[in-house]
Every structure is written in C-alpha cells, then in structure tokens.
Amino acid sequence: MTDDIRLKRLIYRAHHRGFKEADLLLGTFADAHLAELSPGEVRAFEDLLEEQDQDIYDWYLGKAPVPAQHDTPLFARLKAFDFFPRAQWN
C-alpha cells in the first residue's frame, strides 16, 4: 500500500469512530498533522486508533492514566492539540 493510500485510510478511520468527540479530536488532528508525522508516529497513530474511543477520550481529558504504550510524544502532541478552536473575535 502506498503512503498516500495509507494516510487517506487513517484520516477516514480517524473521522469515523462512532463517538462524536473522538471523531472531532482524532479526525481534526489527522487532518492537521498526519502528513507531517514521521513513520514511527504514523504507526503510533495507527496503534492508537485500535483503542476504544471512550478510553482515548478519557486519556485525553486526564480522567484515566495513559497506558505506557500510548504515553508517547505523539499522544502529548494530541493532548496539546486544540481540536475545537474558539471563535476569534475582533
């Protein structure tokens, strides 16, 4: 599979999780950053997508500890990502 097809599939998977908050978080993160991730980070993102939506969201919110296998710079980057930017008022 080419990298382009792989990234398109990951973007689709990130947007179609079945849990709206996870769709927004993972989908917008994928749109914004997937193309610039290293191969190792792409693999870490693929692995993260194998987890349950509610677990990912709880880790993101800090309601549950992030398991060691996902406590990576990629997840830290995801936690820092503002997936729902506030309106900018002039």
Burial class (CB in 10 A: 0-12, 13-18, 19+), 59: buried
Range of the domain at 69: 3-80
Q: What is the pLDDT of residues 3-53, one digit of tens each?
A: 889 999 999 999 999 889 899 999 999 999 999 999 999 999 999 999 999
Task: Answer yes or no: is 90 within a domain.
Answer: no
Q: What is the pLDDT of residue 2?
A: 67
- In the chain, the number of structural domains is 1
**88 within some domain:** no
> What CATH number is attached to the domain comprising 71?
1.10.150.250
Say yes or no to pLDDT of 89 above 60: no
Checking if the pLDDT of 1 tops 70, the result is no
Would you say 7 and 35 are in contact if contact means Cβ atoms under 8 Å apart? yes
pLDDT at 65 over 80: yes
CB 11 within 8 A of CB 27: yes
